[in-house]
Structure 1
Amino acid sequence: MSLPPGFLDELRTRISLSQVVGRKVTWDMRKSNQGKGDWWAPCPFHQEKSASFHVDDRKGFYYCFGCHAKGDALTFLRESENLSFMESVETLAREAGMTMPARDPVAAQKADRRSQLAEVMEDGLQHYRMQLSTVTARTARDYLDRRGLDAGAQERWQIGWAPDQRQALFTALQQKGHSPDLIVASGLCAKADDGSIYDRFRGRIIFPIRDGRGRAISLGGRSLDPNARAKYLNGPETELFDKGRNLFNLARAREAAGKGQTLIVAEGYMDVIALSEAGFGATVAPLGTAVTEEQLRLIWRIHDEPVIALDGDAAGIRAALRVVDLALPLLEAGKGLRFAVLPAGLDPDDLIRAEGAAAMQAVIEAAQPMVTLLWQRETEGRVFDSPERRASLDKSLRAVLMRIQDPSLRSHYGEEMKRLRRGIFGQSFGQGFAQGGGFGQGGAAAQGGRGFRPGRGNWQGGGKWSPPAIPSPTTRSSVLASNLSEERVLEQIVLATLLTHGGLVSEFEPALDRLRFSDLGEEALKLAMLRHDGEADGLRAALQSMHGPVLENLLNQNHVMSAPPVLKSEDTLFARMCLAADLAKLVAAVAARREIEEAAEDLEGLADEGVTWRLARTNEARFAAQRGPQEDRRSGLVAENGVEMDRDELEEARSLWDRINFTKGKPRG
């Protein structure tokens, strides 16, 4: 809504800043000078005993010399009561006696009708408030007493009683001058099939539902009849009330959260009331339904990391998981959820009455981040004693991660999942390398089996690494002179890229985990990267102590030092693209080498016609692989992470091509 020119200036002129601030602070009259409009008080935005908060009433500004909070009357109202800008303007305009400008005639008419409906709601609520003191409400008063809600609490929460009568409220509202159409439109009454109008709430304790401005927009009713069809009943959707876009106790909770309290999301009205009465004022609850996307966004506008407090039974856990699934695509940096699960069989009201507010505070402080609940859902009750079961877990975790839209947040979730995964599977594979066992304790790799490369370093007894002899600078300057294969060059560039851009390790973990580097030292270095739990920026320093010689040899290679993703150490996006392409080529190169080693001799029996046909097919696939994922995605060889390739076709085609080249010129018997 746009405001006419001069409206805010006039509003600031009519409102005394000291009057607005004075509702929240106690002035230090020894330091203040009322005649000059110079006011001092302890700051309401941070805890202090001295009066460092200054209000200049003439200029209309405040400033805290402690926390540096500053602004005018609108700013103070927004920050102290957690209101939006327009809500602050409307609040101050009412105090100043100024009429808020209407958008247009249609909007004005709609606003007028909403105001009339709000009047019906308030009159209906006051009728129910009076009914609570009648003889017919004795059972309701006894129930509230048992729940620990004395007369003061009943007044604070405006609790009422709807007698079990068909038209008691309808008659009372008509006597107040409200038309039947408005009464039905408010949701307090309903129209039967025969056209008669009846009270919607009968034989129920009444709880008002208010919006963020404190206006009554609907009611909730709790039946005392154990045979009632529904224990809790909310009013229907109306022009005032959208249950999926509102929260119970929104206005009070927003103000309390604005003063620094943690926002708690409970399950029902009585939980909110019990928590608020115990000192947890920033507490809300959904309105008879599961938390909706709109409610979750509203909750995040109040607090960046609210705590979802749920009963410790199966239903509570299911409700928590529904919130998790709802929140995953909406997560962003700085906006999260924590989950506090109460002892089994207890709700917040039960726990507070049994053990006091301190017990509830302990539950809130022990709230777990959302990633913990996610991990428990994917692993609880499952056994991972086979590669297939572990692969199934990895697949489900990847599916969860892909639902997170924010790339940075997805990466951090992936790192945490990786850490938790290692807690289940252990580090036996990585430890085998660290102890010189290769692919297991005493494996063949350390004893000259496949993957062992003489002259390129070796693991000695006791896990000690003996680095290779480093060639002279002139010799080392040429990749050809070093006799490195394409595969080894790619492996070294991939490792160097990851060392330079440590944050990419978690993104490409699935592809790295499947690859086995041909040099044992570099394979051990890769495994150490995957096990690294610290900050990405400290990856190289963390690996230096155990893998120093391998690091030195790797980073001194001329083709490594001149690799573009290593040179551009600040450009992570560019490095990600290069890494995806290099890994794709490395996968193809490894597949080709294995085929050459295992089946080169079989090629001799191929018919010339078969060779001719497959040569063309292979040539096409080979060039597609060389172009890399960023240049050609039409081939369908690259998946979402830019690494996962279609091996059934590509590996066979590439291996055939290499074997044809390998046997070119070889006598054919």
Structure 2
Amino acid sequence: MKYPKSYLEEIKQRLKVSDIVGSKVKLKKRGKEFIGLSPFKNEKTPSFTVNDEKEFYHCFSSGEHGNIFDFIIKTENLGFGEAVKLLAKKAGLKEFLFSKQDIIFEDKKKKIQEIFKIYFEHCNLLLKTKYAGTHYKYLIDRGIKKETLNLFKLGYSENNLDIFNKLKANNFTENEILDTGLFLKKPNDDKVITRFYNRIIFPIKNYYNEYIGCGGRAIDKKTFAKYINTPETAFYKKGENLYNYNISRKYFEKYNSIFLVEGYMDVINFYDKGVANVAGILGTAITIPQIKLAWKNYKNIIVCFDGDKSGYLASYRAAEKIFINAVPGKDSFIIILKDNLDPDDFINKYKLDGLKELLRTKRKVSDFIFNYFLQEINSKDPNDLAFFEKKLMSLCDEILDKDLKKFYRSYFKNKIFNDVIRNQKNKSASQKLINTSIKLSLPESEIRELSFLNILINYPEFSERKIEEISNIQFINDYLNEFIRDFIDLLSSNKIDSKQTFLSSLKLNNSSVIEKIVNNSTNNILTTKLNEDEFNQIFLEEINKISKLKLKLKLKTIENKLIDSMDNETLEDLRKAKKHNIS
């Protein structure tokens, strides 16, 4: 039984060749490489080189060449399995145990890889031959080099089952083929159809350079969706992968930063124009696993989404998620593209020099968030300043790293004073602002819940389709539970003619709550021009944040109770609460 490729790659990723070789050979840095005397042959002049970026060593005097496993096998006189165990221990990985379940999974994974390889080679050949004068030409005319198209293995999928039948002829079962997500059965019908018919195919590989799925771009503008992706399978988790990271992760020593863009064509055009350190999040909503994956190899993340309003909002949501999950020693930035362009169009229009110029305007995620909140307030109004500070402090409280949480609270307080308050011309007014900003009135939970309601009341037509979910929400602040009942009643009983008439009706019995929502929400910029998909995304995010706050408050209540009474029942409550990862 072979070790999984992902396991071996993880060991190689955690251990530098120079560290392993350096334990036996005295190495000296020379440019991007290390040199030393050969461990395989007696010599006086160094002919032995090590390259961490390419993950190999080479001995010019003996011809020996290999990776860390080869080096340990040859210098320690071990078998491959023994070398893997030794290096896994050094890398801090558990020994891989070949259970029956592992063997079944790896066998299935191997077959899936073979199916993907045959499918993508078939589609690639179609694109370069049968559709060379149309779809292939379309890609070339967009300014993409042939070498780039070959590297990314772009292809074309026809509306037939030729490749499906070819796979079956290669002794793959129907279920094995369906497990890839490349094909599906019609509802209420056993007939198999191809998922990506009449689409440009973008193969997706994971961190370990294994095929896991693909995306498809429609050629016909009348097609229902411009892009579709492989559904999530046992092998493909969209939110845990970055498009092109299998290639871009290798450039971490050359570049400190990685660009995170949204789509396939953004990535391909960036790479084509000389930006190898780029990866795609395969959508507009970045995930925590994707953030951690990007930081795994790179010191800095540069978010580069579309330059329109939707892209700006997506950039803020990404900034907030990155900020909360920040770790010491890593950094993150936002760049906003001009002329409402997406990254694909921008790099085509302004080329690499234009991107380098744009990078001068990049903003740290923390400063981007600061300015995002600042634009919602009147910086001369003491109450606005107080709420502005409260919003920033609430966000800081969500930072997972305790040290960063402490330092960012101080950073924002100083920035408010230096960038906003000190800039006020009237010194007496400034003093008033300073005094007022200290008196922060609303707790974090209330601001979060008011912000959530701000989204609901400004999009009644979307909220109407969420009535069942909204009715199950129990707010931390009781007065908001009364308000939400009125809100649901109004949604259920009236036809929504317009947002204005709906809000007017809602204000009749809830004017004070509405006023509180308007004055204290952290997301007033989101109250116009969201489409339903964006609304649904924010809805889920806010529900999750409120749930986390409830758990946090529950734990605090239990811990306070323990101070008064250390009884078994309370200790059990605390154990259960901490099991939900709240601390």
Q: TM-score range by the shorter chain?
A: 0.5 to 0.7
Q: Kindly tell me: are residues 142 and 396 of structure 1, through their superposed partners in 2, closer, same or farther at Cα, counting changes over 3 Å?
A: same
Q: CA deviation at 1:392?
A: 1.9
**Aligned residue in 1 for 2:347:** 352
Q: Kindly tell me: are residues 428 and 313 of structure 1, through their superposed partners in 2, closer, same or farther at Cα, counting changes over 3 Å?
A: closer
**1:274 corresponds to 2:280:** no
Which AA in structure 1 matches 2:160? R
Q: Distance in 2 between matches of 1:429 and 1:415?
A: 24
Unaligned runs of 5+ in 1: 9-15, 47-52, 63-71, 78-85, 94-99, 441-508, 516-631, 637-669
**Aligned residue in 1 for 2:533:** none
The two structures have a TM-score, normalised by structure 1, of 0.52
**1:378 corresponds to 2:373:** yes
Cα deviations by residue, 1:79-115 (Å, 9 ceiling, x for unpaired): xxxxxxx9x959x99xxxxxx9752122111110111
**Aligned residue in 2 for 1:369:** 364
Q: Kindly tell me: are residues 349 and 439 of structure 1, through their superposed partners in 2, closer, same or farther at Cα, counting changes over 3 Å?
A: closer
Cα deviations by residue, 1:255-298 (Å, 9 ceiling, x for unpaired): 11244352111111111111112222121111235111111111
Alignment of 1:338-487 (within 5 A): 338-422=333-417, 423-426=419-422
Cα deviations by residue, 1:340-390 (Å, 9 ceiling, x for unpaired): 111132223323222221211232343211111111221114213332222
Q: CA deviation at 1:318?
A: 0.8
Q: Distance in 1 between matches of 2:438 and 2:105?
A: 62
Q: Kindly tell me: are residues 291 and 107 of structure 1, through their superposed partners in 2, closer, same or farther at Cα, counting changes over 3 Å?
A: same
**Aligned residue in 2 for 1:576:** none
Q: Kindly tell me: are residues 74 and 278 of structure 1, through their superposed partners in 2, closer, same or farther at Cα, counting changes over 3 Å?
A: farther
Alignment of 1:52-201 (within 5 A): 73=68, 103-136=98-131, 138-163=133-158, 165-192=159-186, 193-201=188-196
Q: Higher Cα Rg: structure 1 or 2?
A: 1
Which AA in structure 1 matches 2:174? P
Q: Distance in 1 between matches of 2:140 and 2:2?
A: 49
Q: 1:219, 1:234 within 8 Å by CA — same for their partners in 2?
A: yes
Q: CA deviation at 1:40?
A: 3.6
Which AA in structure 2 matches 1:352? I
**Aligned residue in 2 for 1:520:** none
Q: 1:311, 1:343 within 8 Å by CA — same for their partners in 2?
A: no
Q: CA deviation at 1:226?
A: 0.9
Q: Distance in 1 between matches of 2:347 and 2:256?
A: 18
Q: 2:382, 2:437 within 8 Å by CA — same for their partners in 1?
A: no
Q: CA deviation at 1:174?
A: 1.6
SS in 2 for 1:123: helix
Given the alignment, which residue of 263, 282, 291 partners 2:286? 291
SS in 2 for 1:412: helix
Q: Distance in 1 between matches of 2:322 and 2:33?
A: 44
Unaligned runs of 5+ in 2: 12-19, 73-80, 89-94, 441-558, 564-583
**Aligned residue in 2 for 1:496:** none
Cα deviations by residue, 1:200-236 (Å, 9 ceiling, x for unpaired): 1111111110011211111111111111111111111
Q: Which has the higher contact order (CA 8 A, sep 6+)?
A: 2
Q: CA deviation at 1:339?
A: 0.9
Q: Distance in 2 between matches of 1:331 and 1:27?
A: 32
SS in 1 for 2:200: strand
Q: Distance in 2 between matches of 1:331 and 1:365?
A: 22
Cα deviations by residue, 1:51-73 (Å, 9 ceiling, x for unpaired): xx997999x999xxxxxxxxx82
Identity %: 23
Q: CA deviation at 1:42?
A: 7.7
CA RMSD of aligned residues (A): 4.5
**1:331 corresponds to 2:337:** no
Q: 1:39, 1:55 within 8 Å by CA — same for their partners in 2?
A: no
How many residues are aligned here? 400
SS in 2 for 1:135: coil
Q: Distance in 2 between matches of 1:237 and 1:124?
A: 18
Alignment of 1:579-598 (within 5 A): none
Q: Distance in 2 between matches of 1:297 and 1:264?
A: 14
SS in 1 for 2:184: strand
Q: 1:118, 1:215 within 8 Å by CA — same for their partners in 2?
A: yes
SS in 2 for 1:138: coil
